[in-house]
Amino acid sequence: MRANQKRLIISVIILILALLPLLIPRGGAEGETFLSKIAANIKLGLDIKGGALLEYQMVTQAPKEELNSLADRVVEVLRRRLDSAGFTEATVEKVTAKIEYGQNIPPIRVRVEIPGITDIEKAERLIGSTGKLYFADVLAIETGEATPQIPSDLLFEVSKRKLQGAEPYWLKDIHFGKLENGVRNQTWYLISPRVLVGTQYIELNGSSVNEAQPGVNPKPRPGQGKFMVTLRFNSEGANTFYKITAEKANYPSGDIKNRLAIVLDDRVIIAPGVDEPISGGSAIITGLQTIDEAKEVAILVGSGNLPVELAPFNKQILSPTLGKDIIMGALWAGIAGVIIVMIYMVIFYGVMGLVADVALIYNSILLFGMLSASGAILTLPGIAGIILTIGTTVDGNVLIYERIKEELRLGKTPENAIDSAFSKVFWTIFDANLTTIIAGLVLLYFGTGTVKGFAVTLILGVLGAMFTNLVVSRTMLTGMSKGIKPSRYVKEARARGGEVR
């Protein structure tokens, strides 16, 4: 009984953890009734709730025959950005149109549909930013509202760099205009996009970055942001980065030549001094104020640079692609199916069927709680995945109950029959669910859009079904073992002409 008490405590804790994301109101949770507020904590897809439509045209002088390949690269980069930001159900596609006389319609544009989004400006920043990361020399640092003048002692250096294709220009600090410790940031950096190493000008940009991950800076400097982004370069980028940092480390701390600027788009993220050569192919961007800012930088850098600049072409709010009647019909069909299954289990399995029904409700709460906590977007294919996991939950219970019935026919007590049945059926349930999870992981890795939505609900549902079958159902069956009548199943076996030993 002590083991069953532990299983009961674990089951209750898991249930509470699943309920919390559903019951605690979110910032965007809206609704008048209690159920509507719970439902508002689950992100709904474009087909159910609607969302935002954003279309962009490519600003480029490339010939028409290259526009198709450029658009394909833009779609790939935006797809990675949206997936990393959690918009896995978003649709990104290339749209072609014939230009008629007198119409200003681009021949190829990129369309993005994001379900259930409320912060369109954030999505526009994420999509429209070029994400162009590069490392640069710092020639001067000034403060002021307007763009500073180039110091007279740097005019010769500027001219020399201009001849080498590394013409310096002024860029603002990433926090320009923000209050920091009561002082408004008005920092300008005169940077050169290529770094002088010896007598050569070396270029290092985001194309050399293999991975970018947000994190917490364990040792921030006073007044510096507490968050950072860790970069990992490819082999060529790691070698170039080592050469640059080795050159910078030759200058004393405090010398402007000791600084290396990290630039994203048209802002300087940070321009730290280099104390020593950095090998190993890693770098850290510090000074970020919030975790959201760190995530956004990591997404933009890690997803790669957009090959062209994007200009807004069309922007609007979309209504649900499925009609309300279709959605309600699908929901009522799912509810009716669950009710029929629950009635069937009670009729054919009695007390054990009642346990299966409770387990089904438990797994449903678990699944929706995980959907809410993870921020996954629920679409109609996702609902199909949920209905499929209902069958998985019931299927596992049927296997368990049939094994318990066999043990009871052998003359075992209900308690012993339950223990024996679970020990014998464990690997059967584990293997069956594991193969389904593997299939879901393949869909999640290779799929996009709604395919990923189906994979997410399938994986979460199967994991929940496995836990419910092996832990929750066993806890309830052991607690209700006195209500199980072995004679019922012995009579069933005799009535069917089976052998009772």
- Kindly write down the DSSP assignment for every residue of 191-233, as one continuous string: EESSEEETTEEE--BGGGEEEEEEEE-SSPPTTS-SEEEEEEE
| Domain boundary residue, one of 304, 336, 354 | 304
The answer to whether residue 232 is domain-embedded is yes
| Domain boundary residue, one of 286, 318, 350 | 318
Q: What is the DSSP letter of 199?
A: T
- Give the CATH number for residue 197: 3.30.1360.200
| Three-class DSSP category at 237 | helix
10 Å Cβ neighbour count for 441?
13
The answer to whether residue 156 is domain-embedded is no
| Same-domain check for residues 56 and 37 | no
| Same-domain check for residues 292 and 230 | yes
Q: What is the DSSP letter of 150?
A: P
The answer to whether residue 153 is domain-embedded is no
| Three-class DSSP category at 323 | coil
Q: What is the pTM of this model?
A: 0.55
β partners of residue 260: 137
Dihedral over alpha carbons 389, 446, 58, 98 (to 10 degrees) = -80
| Same-domain check for residues 238 and 216 | yes
| Domain boundary residue, one of 278, 304, 330 | 304
| Same-domain check for residues 123 and 138 | no
Please compute, for residue 32, the number of CA atoms within 13 A of its CA located in the half-sphere on the CB side: 0
| Same-domain check for residues 362 and 478 | yes
| Same-domain check for residues 37 and 55 | no
What single letter denotes the amino acid at residue 7?
A: R
| Same-domain check for residues 16 and 87 | no
- Give the CATH number for residue 412: 1.20.1640.10
The string of pLDDT tens digits covering residues 211-266 is 888 888 887 766 667 888 888 898 999 999 999 999 999 999 889 999 999 888 78
- Give the CATH number for residue 123: 3.30.70.3400
As for how many domains the chain has, the answer is 3
Burial class (CB in 10 A: 0-12, 13-18, 19+), 35: exposed
| Same-domain check for residues 455 and 426 | yes
Distance CA 208, CA 232 (A): 9
Q: What is the DSSP letter of 483?
A: G
What's the pLDDT score for residue 501? 47
Determine the number of helices (DSSP H) and then strands (DSSP E) in the chain. Answer: 14, 18
Locate 326 and state its tokens. Answer: 């279709």
The answer to whether residue 236 is domain-embedded is yes
Contact 9, 472 (CB under 8 A): no
Q: Are strands 200-202 and 51-59 parallel, antiparallel or unpaired?
A: unpaired
Greatest C-alpha distance within the chain: 105
| Three-class DSSP category at 333 | helix
Contact 317, 50 (CB under 8 A): yes
* Sign of the CA dihedral with 295 first, then 293, 134, and 59 last: positive
Instruction: Print the domain residue range for 116.
Output: 51-128+314-318
Distance CA 143, CA 128 (A): 28
| Same-domain check for residues 205 and 116 | no
pLDDT-flagged residues of the chain (< 70): 1, 25-40, 46, 88-89, 97-105, 118-119, 126, 128, 130, 221-224, 318-328, 330-331, 448-450, 488-501
Distance CA 74, CA 265 (A): 16
| Same-domain check for residues 28 and 69 | no
Locate 330 and state its tokens. Answer: 């699908």
What's the pLDDT score for residue 34? 56
| Three-class DSSP category at 171 | strand
Tell me the Cα Rg of the chain: 30
| Same-domain check for residues 202 and 281 | yes
Locate 118 and state its tokens. Answer: 């409320």
Which residue has 């920091």 as its token pair? 180
The answer to whether residue 501 is domain-embedded is no
| Same-domain check for residues 279 and 332 | no
Which residue has 């930088």 as its token pair? 297
The answer to whether residue 467 is domain-embedded is yes
The answer to whether residue 170 is domain-embedded is no
The answer to whether residue 387 is domain-embedded is yes
